[in-house]
Chains A and B, each alone.
Chain A
Amino acid sequence: MSVHTDKDGKDKVVAAPNGNASTVKNINDVLKEREKESKGKGEDKEMSLDSTERVKVLSPGQLVFKRFITNKLAILGSFILIAMFVFSFIAPFFYPYGQTEIFYKYDNSVIDYAQAVERNDFTAYYLVDENSVHYSVKNFLTASINSMKESGKDELDLQDNDGNSYTLRKNEDNIFTLFVTDREQVATFGGNVEYGTYSIIGGGSFAAADGIEIPEGLEAAIKDAVAAKSTEFSFKGDTYTLKQVKKSYTVSKASDGYSYIGKALGSDFEAKADAAGNGDRFEMGGVTYVVEVVKDTKNVYKLAGETEAALLTTYVFDSYDSSKPVKDDFKVAAVRAKVDGTDFSVNGTDYTLSEDEGETVVYEAGDSKTPVCVFSDFVIRRYSGEDSLDYDFKEKVREVIDEMTESNTKVSKFTWNIAQVDENGEYTYDENGELIKEEREVTLTKKNNAYVMTVLQVVHLIDTFAPPSREHIAGTDGDGMDVFARMMYGGRVSLVFSFIVVIIETILGIIMGGIAGYYGKWVDNLIMRMVDVFYCIPSMPILIILGAMFDAMKLKPYVRVAWLMAVLGFLGWAGVARMVRGQILSLREQECMVATEAVGLKTGRRIFRHLIPNVMPQLIVTATSGLGSVIITESTLSFLGLGVKHPLATWGTMINSVSTAEAMKLYTYIWVPVGLLICLTVIAFNFVGDGLRDAFDPKMKR
């Protein structure tokens, strides 16, 4: 009796056990028939020694399966692998968190809540176009006011670089007004008067300037001076200067008189102007003149009047209703009103001022006398600079600061209802739209001339390195992401990565090995030398170089992964090719291949339909162990930070993120389970690979 395997892999028996020589039946059918017969005849019939009932025939597939499941390690490996696939491909659907979801937590933490600073700087509210005040005055306003305070002056004249004059006037200690003086030029004195141009071309010619009367003989004197190459010459007691411009000379004489813009003002004016220096003023005929000296020119201006340019004040306005901060035009009007001691109205609403316990309070005019805001010289703001504190709080802070100043202490505490903020740092409101407040202790500390208020407040933080808990089974990592979710997605990346790489190298290996083994001769030689070359090239260094290059080129995470898979697959085909080629070399000589040749099958069909399927068992074994080693390579690369990148989760990166000495010690609950997952997966692949090899080829079973 002989057994052979046909295309479907089923066993057929060409047998003649009981003389049925002419029929060819499947042994299973025969066995079934026998069974029926024996049942019909009764249980007590003894089985004959050559009975086929004694023989149980399994198909090769069944045989392999049976041998596989008797291998304990292989079964263990299979279970681990199935668990791993469920864990990384199916479990994420039932797990509530994603791989890049960031978790937050609430925590009590001392925060810098607010700050109080005494105002010394003046704020300027401009009443004219701000740009019309020159920066040389504008930038020194506070300094000018300080100098006024020191010298006890109530008024200070200022001049900018353009010669405009300003006046600063004190209204009260904290309010000053800046006036711009309007002026009109009336006369100039000094400087040079141009007489004309002397050209030396064509023996010399003099062209007089417009409107200048040339004294007789001046032209001849110029000619002499030019010939003598002197830059100055005297003529009739006056000194003239020559200035060479290319081939001509400009002749000018220092002016000794006044030239007027408009009508002449006479010798009396000139005498007073002569006596005045830069910035000095003099009066004549009820008009004030001011003198300005620029180099050797003296300009005289008539002062026409003054315009109010800016209001300067150190006051800040604390609103009673913190949701309605006061506007600039209101501030200007209020400051003015305080100076003048009057009422004022803005946008149709009337307001009155009144002194109240040393503070000036602005009320809305009318019977209700609603307080609007108060003049204050302390700026109390949220630490972020936002003016959103309520009036009562500010009032309390001012009180405490006063006490502190009196008792000369640096730290003080008081309790207050502090408005609570949510995760975005915004105020929280209850269902009635009221601010949610909680009683907290406010610590007021003096730092230089500022008072910092710190409060223990609930803050919303990224929940980093949370230990394992009910919400996060394996805790959270340094980015506040759920470790367990990342383990699942990391497994997905690792498994998909290794499958694709192994598929690439197997396909390449089958093609190259198949061609080499089938054709032999020089083709085989060529491909095998290529295999040798690929064996020589170290793959890990090349992957590291590529990883560093991808880093420098800032490739996107997915593009990187694709490249890494392609390169790893391309570098790994040599082993598969060598194995396939070896198998095919021995298979080629067998009868079945001779038969395919005799039947006249095409080469491609012979290689891929008849040779390759016979190599399949070895291929599956190689590929299974290959999967494990690719996972190791990938996780090593990721561990080095050169493989799969954040935010994609991989096992290697997860371990890398806690590999410093301190983190390693503190966060073992992150890296140990992840490391064990890698080991388990690779071990499982190796167990299954070993089991498969033993099952396919029992002769090799050791």
Chain B
Amino acid sequence: MAKFIAKRLGLCVLIFFFATFMVYVLEYSLPTSYVEKTAMELSQRPGSLKSAQQWMDELNAQYGMDKGIVKGYFTWLSNSARGNFGDSWSQTMPVTDLFKKCIWYSFVMGLIAFVLEIFIAIPLGVTAARKQYSMTDYTVTVVSLVGISMPTFFVATVLKLIFSVRLGWFELVGMQGRNYATLDQWGRLGDLAMHLVLPITTLTIIGIGGLMRYTRTNMLEVLNADYIRTARAKGLPEKKVISHHAFRNTLIPLVTILGGSLPGLFSGALITETLFGIRGIGYYSYYAMVAGDIPFTMFYLAFISILTLLGNLISDILYAVVDPRVRIN
């Protein structure tokens, strides 16, 4: 097991180098005119403390843009390894400070949506598989396919129209109501929660379909297995067959995939956060990318790559933990 994990880790480090190198190459090959123009524009915004030239110099020192591509990459890597990511151009504060400021909103949103998805999708998926070809099954299949097929922005817009514009229950965008300043601590928390309802609903609707489908597929596979037939043949009650024999085995792939998506909770929801104005990492990174804020964009891309790698690593390890056959190969 230790050997397996060590091997996977080694591979991860290798992939990490190449993935971040590709990301670096992308930023490195942005046209200089574009970078200079962006620096010029952003430095003239109110609140900017440095001139465009200072930013360009810092960028070169930080990213080694004036050096060769490989040397530059290692300059950036060694700087980043020491936690030195520079200042965000669009927010005019250190990248790490901005990250600390916004990451928890993303995480809370992601976590709540994740839990909701699990509690809605898995029971529905199991039910659909148990009653294959029934009306329930068809409904679940169609709903999950519809969920997969809807673009986030459309779901968000429909929710906004119904709940914000027509019913007026929630506000359209933002994280604070207009009387936020007058509220006490609990009131503020409640206010924030009210603003998070629609984004979380959007995330849940978008995420639910895939998980439902996955649960159903795996549950069906298990239900067709010989040991389920054996369990039924020996006269176990159907309830026990499902909950003890079938569902527990379905959990194996589910735990793997859910464990693997844990790091993804930190990655933020780019589109949802932007559309609902939730100041999470997705929101800031979107505006950083649109404004051409290289330091924050670069940080975000590297961060996402690492999260994806971590997710793969976790799911590989979990897979090996729950299924001993994998460890041998």
Interface residues of A (CB under 8 A from B): 73, 529-530, 532-533, 535-538, 540-542, 544-545, 548-549, 552-553, 628, 632, 635-636, 639-640, 642, 652, 655, 659, 661, 664-665, 668, 671-672, 675, 678-679, 682-683, 685-687, 690, 702
Contact of B22 among A533, A636, A659 (CB under 8 A): A533
Cross-chain contact of B301 among A538, A655, A679 (Cβ < 8 A): A538
Given the known inter-chain contacts A529-B18, A665-B165, A686-B145, please indicate yes or no for A702 contacting B132, CB distance below 8 A. yes
Q: Which residues of B contact A640 (CB under 8 A)?
A: 153, 271, 274
Q: How far is the CA of A536 from the CA of B22 in the complex (A)?
A: 10
Beta-carbon contact of A664 and B150 below 8 Å: no
Please, how many angstroms separate the alpha-carbon atoms of A549 and B165 in the complex? Answer: 34
B127 beta carbon closer than 8 Å to chain A: no
Given A639-B153, A675-B158, A679-B149: A544 in contact with B290 (beta carbons within 8 A): yes
* CB proximity of A684 to chain B, nearest CB, Å: 8
Give the one of B149, B153, B160 with max A CB within 10 A.
B149
Q: How far is the CB of B231 from chain A (nearest CB, A)?
A: 20
Q: 8 Å CB contacts to A: which residues of B127-165?
A: 129, 132, 138, 141-142, 145-146, 148-154, 157-158, 160-161, 164-165
Flag if B305 contacts A536 (CB, 8 Å). Answer: yes
A636 in contact with B26 given A533-B18, A552-B292, A668-B161 (CB within 8 Å): no
Could you list 18 further interchain pairs (A-B, Cβ under 8 angstroms) beyond the known A73-B142, A541-B301, A636-B153?
A533-B18, A533-B22, A541-B289, A632-B149, A635-B153, A636-B152, A636-B271, A640-B153, A642-B290, A672-B158, A675-B157, A675-B158, A679-B146, A682-B149, A682-B150, A682-B151, A683-B146, A702-B217
Q: Which residues of B contact A537 (CB under 8 A)?
A: 19, 22-23, 301, 305
Main secondary structure on A side of the interface with B: helix
Residues of B within 8 A of A (CB): 11, 14-16, 18-19, 22-23, 26, 30-31, 34, 37-38, 129, 132, 138, 141-142, 145-146, 148-154, 157-158, 160-161, 164-166, 172, 216-217, 220-221, 270-271, 274, 285-286, 289-292, 297, 300-301, 304-305, 308-309, 312
> By the criterion CB–CB under 8 Å, are A549 and B221 in contact?
no
For B217, the closest partner residue in chain A by CB is A702
Closest CB of chain B to A241's CB: distance in Å?
Answer: 56
B22 lies within 8 A of A548 (CB): no
Residues of A near B151 (CB, < 8 A) are 632, 635-636, 639, 652, 675, 678-679, 682
Q: How far is the CA of A529 from the CA of B166 in the complex (A)?
A: 51
- Interface contact A659-B292, CB-CB below 8 Å: no
Q: A537-B23, A541-B285 are in contact. Are A532 and B15 (CB under 8 A)?
A: yes
Q: Which residues of A contact B270 (CB under 8 A)?
A: 540-541, 544
List the B residue with the shortest CB-CB distance to A702: B220
**Do A549 and B30 touch across chains, with their CB atoms under 8 A apart?**
yes
Contact A553 B34 (CB under 8 A): yes
| Cα separation A281 to B236 with both chains bound (whole Å) | 135
- Which 5 pairs of residues, A with B, have the shortest CB-CB distance? A682-B149, A702-B220, A536-B19, A675-B154, A683-B149
Q: Is the Cβ of A549 less than 8 Å from the Cβ of B34? A: yes
Q: Is the beta-carbon distance between B289 and A686 smaller than 8 angstroms?
A: no
Contact of B26 among A536, A545, A690 (CB under 8 A): A545
Q: Do B160 and A686 touch (CB < 8 A)?
A: no
A536, A671, A683 — which one has the most chain B CB atoms within 10 A of its CB?
A: A536
Interchain CA distance A687-B145 in the complex, whole Å: 8
Chain A residues in 8 Å Cβ range of B38: 552
Which residue of B has the minimal Cβ distance to A676? B154
Closest to B161 in A: A664
A52 to B264 CA separation, bound complex (whole angstroms): 59
Please, how many angstroms separate the alpha-carbon atoms of A661 and B153 in the complex?
14
Measured in the bound complex, the distance between the Cα atoms of B26 and A637 in whole Å is 19
Chain A residues with Cβ below 8 Å from B152 are 636
Q: Given known contacts A552-B292, A687-B145, is B216 in contact with A702 (CB within 8 Å)?
A: yes
Residues of chain B contacted by A552 (CB below 8 angstroms):
34, 37-38, 292
6 residue pairs of the A-B complex, CB under 8 angstroms, read A533-B15, A536-B19, A538-B305, A548-B292, A632-B149, A636-B151
In the bound complex, what is the Cα–Cα distance between A191 and B18 (angstroms)?
89
- Contact indicator B146/A529 (Cβ below 8 Å): no
**Distance between Cα atoms of A482 and B141 in the complex (Å):** 36
CA distance A668 to B15 in the complex (A): 47
Q: Which residue of B lies closest to A690 (CB)?
A: B145
- Asked if residues A548 and B157 are in contact (CB atoms below 8 Å), the reply is no
In-complex Cβ contact of B304 among A538, A664, A686 (8 A) = A538
Cβ–Cβ contact A536 & B153, under 8 A: no
Say yes or no: A549 contacts B292, CB within 8 Å: yes
Q: In whole angstroms, how far apart are the Cα atoms of A533 and B37 in the complex? A: 31
